[in-house]
Amino acid sequence: MRRMIATLTGAAAAALIVPALVTAAPASAQSAPADPVSALKGQLKAHHGVKLAESSKLIGDGKNQRAIFSRRNGVLEFGKPGVVASDLTSTFSLPGAEKELKDLFAPSRTITVKDTSYTSGGFYGDALPEGRKWVRTPSDLTTAGNPGQQMVNPLEPGTLKAVLAHTTAKRPGGTWDGVKTVVHSGTITLGELYKVSPTVRAALGAKPSAKSAPLPVNWQFYIGSDQLVRRAVSSYTQSLRGLVSVDITYLNDSRYTSWGVKSAIKAPPASQVADIKDLDLDQEQTEDPYIRVFKD
């Protein structure tokens, strides 16, 4: 993913502690957080987190009209800085793709702790040394091999505040995770997101070019009566022309449930882990698989 995004940015670019009350009051009498950022900060407790269910689509508008569908499910664990660990399972679907490409997008599980990711399965699965189940790579809490993940991250207080400042409409959003919500929606540019979002800076790897910084990112946040985000939807289109002859639209839908769930994510046993340099990779495997999909 990092290789692909780093290439694209040269032309056009591919997250809470409720204050203790002096006098305890019945839950029904306690006031709700004043705003979504305060509510988010109130959830930033060590060994607690939120469950994530996310679906993404990468749609190429070129000659082959090829699309990649992906899903991620699991737990994001909080600490005082924000999200500090994750345990996520990813699955992919490439309708009509030949077996070779489907093998590259095999299901995978990625555990991320202390800025290191451990991935089992996926397009590195067959390259692992005998007896090893995980490959270790540096990480910025973005799942390796999935560039379609949420770019408008509502789990970052600074990002949440900046994005909500661009709200242009509100409407009832129905009930999510047992809570009635209001949809806040608007548009923010890639350049603005880069300034406020660690997720976007990690994904892009470099500051957006003058051409890509104005790229509009459309977003919707479904915010509950407790001011917590229950759903985040975003979309944007970027050009791969010059690399491959397509523009790609990224559509992402993230659902957040079970806020405050207990979590204690740990790295896999060292005896089961291999480093990227230990993998048996040929030249074809090292080519970015997403570029291959839209080339073919």
Q: What is the mean pLDDT of each run of 10 residues along the chain (296 residues)?
A: 36 30 36 86 95 88 71 92 90 70 77 89 77 81 50 93 97 96 97 92 85 93 97 86 65 95 95 84 54 56
- pLDDT on residue 235: 92
- pLDDT on residue 3: 39
119 part of a folded domain: yes
23 part of a folded domain: no
96 part of a folded domain: yes
Residue ranges making up the domain that contains 150: 2-17+35-295
- pLDDT on residue 158: 95
Q: What is the DSSP string of the chain?
A: -HHHHHHHTTTS-----PPPPSS---GGGSPPPSSHHHHHHTT--TTEEEEEEEEEEEEE-STT--EEEEEEEEEEEEETTEEEEEEEEEEEE-TT--HHHHHHT--EEEEEETTEEEEEEGGGGGGSPTT--EEEEE-SSS-TT-TTS-SS-TTSHHHHHHHHTTEEEEEEEEEETTEEEEEEEEEEEHHHHHHH-HHHHHHHSSPPPTTTTT-EEEEEEEEETTS-EEEEEEEEEEE-TTTSS-EEEEEEEEEEEEEEEE----PPPGGGEEEGGGS---HHHHS-HHHHHHH-
We report the CATH number of the domain holding residue 116 as 2.50.20.20
29 part of a folded domain: no
- pLDDT on residue 215: 92
- pLDDT on residue 35: 95
- pLDDT on residue 12: 33
- pLDDT on residue 87: 94
- pLDDT on residue 13: 33
289 part of a folded domain: yes
- pLDDT on residue 254: 95
111 part of a folded domain: yes
256 part of a folded domain: yes
- pLDDT on residue 25: 34
182 part of a folded domain: yes
Per the structure, the count of domains in the chain is 1
- pLDDT on residue 151: 85
